[in-house]
Structure 1
Amino acid sequence: MPVAVHWFRKALRLHDNPALAKAVAACSAPNSSLLPVYTLDPHFVKNSHIGTNRWLFFLESLQDVDRSLSESGSKLLVLRGEPMTLFSTLFDTLIANGETVSLYFEADTSPYARNRDAAMLELCASKNIAVHTFNSHTLFNPSDVIKVNGGITPIVYQSFLKVITEKMPAIQPATPTLTQVPPLSDEMKALLTYTETFGFDAFQVPSMEDIGKAVPGENLVSTHKGGEREALKRLEEYMKQKDLVCKFQKPETNPAAFQPASTTILSPYLKMGSLSARTFYHELMKVYRASKIGYTKPPVSLLGQLYWREFYYTAGYGTPNFDKMLGNPICKQIPWRTDEQSNVDLEKWATGQTGFPWIDAIMIQLKQEGWIHHLARHSVACFLTRGDLYISWERGAKVFEKLLIDADWSLNTGNWLWLSASAFFHQYFRVYGPVSFPKKYAPESVKYVRKYIPALKNFPEKYLFEPWKCPIADQKKAGCIIGKDYPKPMCDHDAVSKVNIGKMKVAYDEGKVASPPKAPKGKKRPLDED
C-alpha cells in the first residue's frame, strides 16, 4: 500500500503548500495513505536561543495545522528526537508492513537544515524511498538566483532586483488551499502504536510544559497569536486598506505606534511558514493592479519588503559563514569589545537597563511581546554596536534570535550585518541618536516610553528621553529618582559615538575585510538617523 509521508517543517499551512499538495495527490490511488509528520528536533528544543514567546507562537502554529488536518479526519504525528533516528524507525515500520513509502517536504536553506536534509536524502536512498522536495518558503530559489547571476551571490539590493526582475522566471501562482486531505486510517494508527513507548502521545501537539519550557507569565504579554488562520485573517484585513497598501513606505512608518502598529506585522507568519510568501505577493499584486493612485516601489514599498526578504535569503545561502564575522568574505573585520565589562554592558542592553529610555522601552517591548518595529530594531542594534557600546553584532543577533517571534536566520543575520555597518551598508558615521531620534516621533514615542517603562509614566515630557537632565525637584514630583528608580545613562552618547566612529574609520582604512564579489553599484537603502 502506498504511503506518502509529508514532513512539515516551516510550511505550517494548508494554503500554497506544494509539497503537501503533491503528497495528497499521490494518495489518489485506492488503499493509499497520507501520513503528516512533524519532528521536534533536539537541535532546536535544547537551543537556548529560543525564548518563551517564540516557543508559544510556534506551538500555536503547530496546533493550527493539526486542527486543519483533524477537520478532514487526519492527524499530525509529532515525534520528538533526532530526525534521522525517528524517520529511520518510522520507515522501517512502514516497509516491514509492506508499504511503499515516499517522502515529501519543503526545502530549507539554512546551514543546519541543508546538512540535515542531505543526511535525509542519504537515508532515503539507502531504503529505496523516493523523495520529493519543493521550494515554497521564498518567492525564488536562492540557488537559482545565484546560478542565473553567473554563480555570484548578489550583495547589493538593486543588483539583486535586476537579477530577479530580468533573469528569473515570473513568480508562479500559489497552489490552491487544501480543503480536504486523506483521513488517517485506523490501520495506520494501529501501525504507529510503537510510538506509545516514547512516553508521550505522538498524536497530540505538546504543550510548553511537555517540552520543558516555561509557561508565559504576566510579564510576557504578546498579542501575536500563531497559526495559519490568524495569518490569513491579518493578511486579508491589511489588504483591505488599499490606500495604505499602495502608499506604504517602510522608512516613513512610526516605530512608536501601537494599537495599531504602523506595519503589517506579518513577518512572524512568513517566518513560521503559516503565511506563504507567494500568497502575500499575489494578494499584493491584486491591490496594486486595481489601484487608481499608483503605488510605491522597492525598496521602500511592501513589494520591496518581500524582496528584502528574498535578498537576505539569497545572501545567506551563497555566503560562507554568513552568521559570523570570521571567515565571512563580505563582513568587515571590526575589533569589537571583548572585555569583561562588555558582558555587563550587553546584559544591561538586553534587559532594558541602559538608562536611555528609548532604547530600554524597545528592549522591554521585545522581551514582553516578541516583536518590535524595524526602526526600533535599527535603534537598539546601532546602540549596541557602532553607535555606543561597540559590542559585536553577533552577540546582539543571538539576543534577537531568542526574543523575536519572527527570528529568521537569514534576515536576522543580514540586518545585523547591515546595522553594524559590517556588510551591505557602510556609512558607519550615520548613527541613530538614542535621544534625538525618538523625538521625531512624538507624541507617539512619549506614550510608547511611558507604556513600557512605568517608572517614567509621570516624568515631564521635556526630559523623558534624557531623564538624567531633569531637576531633582521634578524627579521627586514624578516619583522617579534617576539612579534609584531608573538607571543613570551607561555612557555619554555624544562623546562615545564620536570615539566609535573613529574606531570604525580606522578599521575601514586598515582594510580588515576580504574582497567581496564584484557587483554593480546600486541605490543605497534608506536610513533614518540623527
Structure 2
Amino acid sequence: MTEVSALWMRRDLRLTDNRAMHEMQRWVEAEEDRQWFLVFHLDPHFYEYSCPHHDYFFQNLEKFRKECDDQHIQLYFLHGSADEAFTYLKEKVPALTHLFFNEDEAPQAARRDEQVLKEMQQRSVETHAYKDAHFHRSDEVKKKDGGLYSVYTPYYRAWRQLEKEQPFECRLGRIISQQARLDLPQKAAYNKLSSYLNNNGKTWERTAEKDGRERLETFVEEIAPEYHETNNALSSDGTSRLSAYLKTGRLSVRTIYQALSEQLEEGNPGAEAFVSELAWRDYYNMIHATRPELKNTELKEAYRYLPWEYDEKRLERWKEGRTGYPIVDACMRQLNEIGWMHNRGRMIAASFLTKDYLIDWREGERYFAERLIDYDPSSNAGGWQWAASTGTDAVPYFRVFSPVRQSERFDPQGDYIREYVPELHRVPKKYIHTPWKMNEQQQKEYGCILGQDYPKPDVDHAVQRKKAIEMFKGE
C-alpha cells in the first residue's frame, strides 16, 4: 500500500533549509513507493480580517505558491478551522499516513497544533513536529539547577554556549516523481486567498525567497561588521532588515547564522551584537511558551492593577504620528507607511505611549500587531512589556525615555524626522527636535506654523515622567 505524507507549510515559506521539509524528504526517499505533497491551511482568523500584517504575509504566500509552480510543485490549500480542515484532508486523501510540520510554541498556535495532532492521530496519521523558527526550544536553555531564566543577560551567555544547527538540505527536485497528485478541490480554498489579495491595499516588493537571501548577503558584507555602531541610527540603513523575512520564513535562523559564521569566529563585535538580538527571539519565545499570559497580563504581579489612563484622542494622535514630538511622530508614520519600524523607534514609541501618555501598553501592542509586517506575537508582547516596565527583565519604571534626548542621540541631524514628517523639512537642526521652541517669526520663516502645519505637544514630558513614576510607586 502506498504511503502518503503531507508537509504542512506555515510560517516557513521557503524551499531551502526547512527542517520539516528535510525530514519529509528523507522519509520519502527511504521507500520508492512513498508519495508526498505540500499543503497550506488558510485560517479564517487571518483572511477575514485585513491589516498590513496579514496583507504582507498573504502576499508572501502567493509568491511562494508561484515559486512552487516554477519548480513543478503543487501547493494545496485548505480553509476553515484547523481541526475541520485536516479532518477534511484525511477524508479526501485516505492514503495520508504522515503529517510533517515545523512547530510553533506561541500559546495560541500551540493550542491549534495540539488539536490538529489529536484529530490526525485519531485517524491513524503519524505526526512529526520539528524545531525550525528558533535556534532553541523554550525548554533548551536552562540554568545549572534545571530552571529557566527570567533575565536575558545570563540567558544569552548560556544560549551562546549551545551548539547551533547547520542548515538542512532540501532538494524536492530529487523526489518530484513521487509527488502525489490529489483529487483535492481547490477552488473554494484558493478563492479565499485570491479574494483577500484582490482587496488589500499596499503591495510590497522584494518578497521572494531569493530577495531574502540577497538582503542577507548585503547585510553580511556591508552592514554586519559595523552593526554594533550603526544599529541605533534612525536615519541610516544600519540594521539588518531581515526581520520580515524571518517572520514569513523566507529565511531561516540557521542560514543567517552560517552566513555570519566567519565574522563570529573572528570575534567581530558587529556580528556578535546582531546574534545577541537573534537570541532575544528565542528568549521571548521561551517567556511566551512558559507564560502564556504575556500578551494580555503584566508578568510582574505588582503592576497588574496600574491605573492606566484611556484617552481616545491621545491614542489616535499617537497612532497617526501627531503627538507634537517629532521623533515619536516620525516613528509612527514610518510604521504606517511601510509596515516596519526601526527597533530603536519601537522603544521610543512604546515608551511615549506608556510613560508620557500613560496609556495601557496593550493598546500599543495590538496596534503594532496589526501594522508590523514582521509581527511576532512573542517578541512584540515581550517588547511592549519591557517598555512598560511590567515584564520580565524590563526597563526599570524610573528610567523614562526622554523623546527629545532620544531624538538628539539617534537622529542628531534630524534626517529621519524630515523624511517622515515633511512638515518639518525646512526646520533647522537647532529646532528639529523641539519645534515648539520656535517663535512666530521663525515658524513663518521655516514654513511650519505650530497648531496649523504641525501640532504643538499636548503633554509636558517632565510632568508626565513624574506622573509615571508616581503611578508605579502607587503614590
Shared fold (TM-score, shorter chain, > 0.5): yes
Which residue number in structure 2 is paired with residue 164 of structure 1? Answer: 159
Which residue number in structure 2 is paired with residue 347 of structure 1? Answer: 316
Which residue number in structure 1 is paired with residue 173 of structure 2? Answer: 180
CA deviation profile, 1:357-402 (whole Å, cap 9, x unmatched): 111111001110111111111111110112x011111111111111
Q: Is 2:99 aligned against 1:123?
A: no
Match of 1:114 among 110, 116, 119: 110
CA deviation profile, 1:184-240 (whole Å, cap 9, x unmatched): 889724x12x334x2x647xx934x43574322xxxx86x63232111111112212
Q: Any conservation in 1 of the 2:40–2:77 contact (CA below 8 Å)? A: yes
Letter of the 1:160 partner, please give it. Answer: Y
Q: Post-superposition shift, 1:26?
A: 2.6
Unaligned runs of 5+ residues in structure 1 are: 508-530
In the TM superposition, 1:349-388 aligns within 5 A as 349-386=318-355, 388=356
Q: Any conservation in 1 of the 2:59–2:197 contact (CA below 8 Å)? A: no
Which residue number in structure 1 is paired with residue 283 of structure 2? Answer: 311
In the TM superposition, 1:310-329 aligns within 5 A as 310-325=282-297, 328=299
CA deviation profile, 1:415-447 (whole Å, cap 9, x unmatched): 111111112124222222222321224554x12
Measure the CA separation in 1 of the matches of 2:140 and 2:432. Answer: 50
Q: Post-superposition shift, 1:297?
A: 8.0
Match of 1:248 among 221, 227, 233: 227
Q: Post-superposition shift, 1:265?
A: 0.9
After TM superposition, the score normalised by the length of structure 2 is: 0.91
Bigger drift between 62-71 and 394-403 goes to 62-71
CA deviation profile, 1:241-265 (whole Å, cap 9, x unmatched): 3xx5244327x5344224xx11101
Q: Is 2:259 aligned against 1:283?
A: yes
SS of 1:176's partner is coil
Which residue number in structure 2 is paired with residue 406 of structure 1? Answer: 374
Which residue number in structure 2 is paired with residue 206 of structure 1? Answer: 193
SS of 2:363's partner is helix
Identity %: 28
Measure the CA separation in 1 of the matches of 2:308 and 2:150. Answer: 27
Letter of the 2:276 partner, please give it. Answer: G
Measure the CA separation in 2 of the matches of 1:181 and 1:332. Answer: 56
Letter of the 1:350 partner, please give it. Answer: K
Which residue number in structure 1 is paired with residue 3 of structure 2? Answer: 2
CA deviation profile, 1:337-369 (whole Å, cap 9, x unmatched): 244xx2221111011111111111110011101
Measure the CA separation in 1 of the matches of 2:73 and 2:440. Answer: 66
Give the total of aligned pairs: 472
Measure the CA separation in 2 of the matches of 1:247 and 1:464. Answer: 27
After TM superposition, the score normalised by the length of structure 1 is: 0.82
Which residue number in structure 2 is paired with residue 477 of structure 1? Answer: 445
Which residue number in structure 2 is paired with residue 227 of structure 1? Answer: 208
Measure the CA separation in 2 of the matches of 1:181 and 1:55. Answer: 33
The alignment's C-alpha RMSD in Å is 2.6
In structure 2, relative to structure 1, the CA distance for the partners of 1:181 and 1:389 (3 Å cut) is farther
Q: Any conservation in 1 of the 2:33–2:178 contact (CA below 8 Å)? A: no
Which residue number in structure 2 is paired with residue 81 of structure 1? Answer: 80
Measure the CA separation in 1 of the matches of 2:150 and 2:281. Answer: 13
Letter of the 1:84 partner, please give it. Answer: D
Q: Post-superposition shift, 1:139?
A: 0.3
Letter of the 2:219 partner, please give it. Answer: Y
In structure 2, relative to structure 1, the CA distance for the partners of 1:45 and 1:103 (3 Å cut) is same
SS of 1:322's partner is helix
Letter of the 2:254 partner, please give it. Answer: R
SS of 1:180's partner is helix
CA deviation profile, 1:164-193 (whole Å, cap 9, x unmatched): 345x5x22211024362644889724x12x
Q: Any conservation in 2 of the 1:149–1:163 contact (CA below 8 Å)? A: no
In the TM superposition, 1:34-53 aligns within 5 A as 34-47=36-49, 51-52=51-52
Match of 1:492 among 428, 451, 460: 460
Q: Any conservation in 2 of the 1:16–1:177 contact (CA below 8 Å)? A: yes
CA deviation profile, 1:1-31 (whole Å, cap 9, x unmatched): 2211010011111222121122223333334
Q: Post-superposition shift, 1:329?
A: 5.4
Q: Any conservation in 2 of the 1:73–1:184 contact (CA below 8 Å)? A: no
Q: Post-superposition shift, 1:143?
A: 2.6
Q: Post-superposition shift, 1:134?
A: 0.6
Measure the CA separation in 2 of the matches of 1:407 and 1:268. Answer: 8
In structure 2, relative to structure 1, the CA distance for the partners of 1:414 and 1:184 (3 Å cut) is farther
In structure 2, relative to structure 1, the CA distance for the partners of 1:400 and 1:465 (3 Å cut) is same
Q: Any conservation in 1 of the 2:426–2:447 contact (CA below 8 Å)? A: yes
In the TM superposition, 1:59-78 aligns within 5 A as 59-78=58-77
In structure 2, relative to structure 1, the CA distance for the partners of 1:184 and 1:382 (3 Å cut) is farther
SS of 2:38's partner is strand
SS of 1:430's partner is coil
Which residue number in structure 1 is paired with residue 304 of structure 2? Answer: 333
Which residue number in structure 2 is paired with residue 514 of structure 1? Answer: none
Measure the CA separation in 2 of the matches of 1:182 and 1:206. Answer: 28
Letter of the 2:169 partner, please give it. Answer: P
Unaligned runs of 5+ residues in structure 2 are: none
Q: Any conservation in 1 of the 2:41–2:79 contact (CA below 8 Å)? A: yes
Bigger drift between 415-424 and 360-369 goes to 415-424
Q: Is 2:397 aligned against 1:428?
A: yes
In structure 2, relative to structure 1, the CA distance for the partners of 1:382 and 1:210 (3 Å cut) is closer
Which residue number in structure 1 is paired with residue 132 of structure 2? Answer: 136
Structure with higher helix content = 2
In structure 2, relative to structure 1, the CA distance for the partners of 1:389 and 1:149 (3 Å cut) is farther
